[in-house]
Amino acid sequence: MNLQAPLEPVLVDPLPRRGTVAVDVGGVLVGGAAPVVVQSMTNTDTADVDGTVRQVADLARAGSEIVRITVDRDEAAAAVPRIRERLDRLGVTVPLVGDFHYIGHKLLADHPACAAALAKYRINPGNVGFKDKKDRQFVEIVEMAIRHDKPVRIGVNWGSLDQELLTRLMDANSALASPLPARDVMREAIVQSALHSAALAEETGLARERIILSAKVSNVQDLIAVYRDLSRRTDHCIHLGLTEAGMGSKGIVASAAAMGILLQEGIGDTIRVSLTPEPGGDRTREVQVAQEILQTMGFRQFIPIVAACPGCGRTTSTLFQQLAETIQTDIRTNMPLWRERYPGVEAMTVAVMGCIVNGPGESKHADIGISLPGTAEVPSAPVYMDGVKVATLRGARIAEDFHEMVRQYIDRRFGRPAALAGTAAAE
């Protein structure tokens, strides 16, 4: 083995996906050979049209490809068509999914404009009704989906798991000579609830390519076990998500750990990261995290990645942290415009490194990178583009100069020729 040979970059295979039946959600294809779709959910009162339009638009601009809204009462259902119209007028075409619990069958029947405006209905089989009403009301929602030609997501959640099913399985388990642990029975009940409901929807007449399944729990190991089992037992399209993931780093780490393992196994056609926002926090954070999970694993590209070293005792100034943050913020702010103007820019990598130890090497691997001077190093910063050293920055304006070089690099490499840009603008 030649240890001197340069390392080839590690390329992740384009996701060895489990074969699932593709579902069209308002023009967005989920499952089959489609890329894993990022979705999110609002936390506004849907009856508040202004607030909901604003948040849906923010989520869509952040990159959410499907947005779910709560439809919990008449006022919310009545607001849905107005929300759809307002979004269309703003040019925000993101499909809206209605989240129904308990009275979904009634709301959809009483508000046909709502049923028509939504691109998908989410049904929780544990929350559609009790005893003989349960299947009847579930079927009523499915019939509504058939009438309006909409897909449904059958979204099982362990916090509202069908208690009759769970009790039946627990009773059967305790009658066994060697009963399984209660946790295993709970996992089985979640999977059975999803599969039974999907079978009932198909018996009612809903096509298989109109059904998405999810089976959310809040524990990482349970989630992995449940989704592995679900995906082994059906080829239905799969919505992946850890429910009640939590706040801040806890929610991000738990979601990334659980979904990362499943996505790597090819399980999951669409993901939602259920973060609890800080009070007054930005709801679009969940979209950003979902994108970062997919991009860091090499499955999709949404935004240029800024690679920055963590810093250590070799760098005592905060220059490289500030520069990395400025570049990251600049990219995120400009991305909606750059997506149009610079096709392919989302695959770019920028390195901002703190000293000479790893700085030049990491910078060479990035499309554009800078190695800032560490403590006691000569106050100069070599800049690399496409693996080649192109400049050495010095003086008090290193950060500003590098920032400008990044912008020029993007324009030169990803900008369309003026004639082409002019044609597009005139179209």
Pick out the residues of the known binding site for [4Fe-4S] cluster. Answer: 309, 312, 355, 362
By the rule CB under 6 A, 351 interacts with ligand SF4: no
Q: What angle do CA 180, 186, 192 make, to 5 degrees?
A: 105
Pick left, alpha or beta for residue 395 (phi over 0 → left; psi -120 to 50 → alpha; otherwise beta). Answer: left
Question: Least separation, in Å, of the C-beta of 383 and ligand SF4?
Answer: 15
By the rule CB under 6 A, 324 interacts with ligand SF4: no
Considering only 41, 145, 195, 353, the residue that binds ligand SF4 (CB under 6 A) is 353
Q: Nearest-CA neighbor of 15 among 356, 300, 257, 328?
A: 300
By the rule CB under 6 A, 314 interacts with ligand SF4: yes
Of the two residues 126 and 374, which places its CB atom closer to ligand SF4 in the complex?
A: 374
Question: Least separation, in Å, of the C-beta of 320 and ligand SF4?
Answer: 7
Of the two residues 54 and 389, which places its CB atom closer to ligand SF4 in the complex?
A: 389
By the rule CB under 6 A, 382 interacts with ligand SF4: no
CA atoms within 13 A on the CB side of 200: 21
Only one of the segments 21-29, 90-98, 349-357, 393-401 lies at the binding site for ligand SF4 (rule: CB under 6 A); that segment is: 349-357
Q: Which residues are annotated as a binding site?
A: 309, 312, 355, 362
Of the two residues 253 and 312, which places its CB atom closer to ligand SF4 in the complex?
A: 312
Read off the tokens for 369.
């990178």
By the rule CB under 6 A, 319 interacts with ligand SF4: no
Considering only 9, 16, 91, 310, the residue that binds ligand SF4 (CB under 6 A) is 310
Quick one: which H or E segment has residue 362? helix 359-365
Of the two residues 125 and 373, which places its CB atom closer to ligand SF4 in the complex?
A: 373
Count of beta carbons in the 10 Å neighbourhood of residue 90: 13
In three-state secondary structure terms, 67 is strand
Only one of the segments 97-105, 113-121, 307-315, 326-334 lies at the binding site for ligand SF4 (rule: CB under 6 A); that segment is: 307-315
CB 224 within 8 A of CB 258: yes
DSSP string, 322-350: HHHHHHHHHHHHHHHHHHHHSTTGGG-EE
Read off the tokens for 368.
């554009």
Only one of the segments 59-67, 107-115, 267-275, 348-356 lies at the binding site for ligand SF4 (rule: CB under 6 A); that segment is: 348-356
Question: Least separation, in Å, of the C-beta of 60 and ligand SF4?
Answer: 37
Quick one: which H or E segment has residue 359? helix 359-365
Residue 91 main-chain phi, psi, to 5 deg: 80, 15
Question: Least separation, in Å, of the C-beta of 311 and ligand SF4?
Answer: 5
**Residue whose C-beta lies closest to ligand SF4:** 354
To the nearest 10 degrees (0 to 180), the angle between helices 220-233 and 248-264 is 30
Strand partners, 384: 369, 389
Question: Least separation, in Å, of the C-beta of 372 and ligand SF4?
Answer: 8
Considering only 374, 383, 406, 409, the residue that binds ligand SF4 (CB under 6 A) is 374
Read off the tokens for 337.
């415009």
By the rule CB under 6 A, 309 interacts with ligand SF4: yes
Considering only 55, 127, 315, 363, the residue that binds ligand SF4 (CB under 6 A) is 315
Question: How many residues of this chain interact with ligand SF4, rule: CB under 6 A?
Answer: 13
Considering only 49, 357, 391, 405, the residue that binds ligand SF4 (CB under 6 A) is 357
Place of tokens 């560490």: 374
By the rule CB under 6 A, 355 interacts with ligand SF4: yes
Q: Nearest-CA neighbor of 291 among 94, 37, 67?
A: 37
Only one of the segments 135-143, 170-178, 247-255, 309-317 lies at the binding site for ligand SF4 (rule: CB under 6 A); that segment is: 309-317
As separate numbers, helices (DSSP H) first and strands (DSSP E) second, the chain gives 14, 17
- 380-385/388-394 β-pairing: antiparallel
Which residues from 407-426 bind ligand SF4, rule CB under 6 A? none
Q: What angle do CA 235, 295, 410 make, to 5 degrees?
A: 140
Considering only 311, 360, 361, 415, the residue that binds ligand SF4 (CB under 6 A) is 311
Considering only 359, 369, 373, 382, the residue that binds ligand SF4 (CB under 6 A) is 359
CB 280 within 8 A of CB 305: no
Q: Nearest-CA neighbor of 362 among 375, 372, 352?
A: 352
Only one of the segments 93-101, 291-299, 355-363, 417-425 lies at the binding site for ligand SF4 (rule: CB under 6 A); that segment is: 355-363
By the rule CB under 6 A, 148 interacts with ligand SF4: no
Helix ranges (H only) for 205-341 are 220-233, 248-264, 285-296, 319-341
Q: Report the interface residues with ligand SF4, using CB under 6 A.
A: 309-312, 314-315, 353-355, 357-359, 374
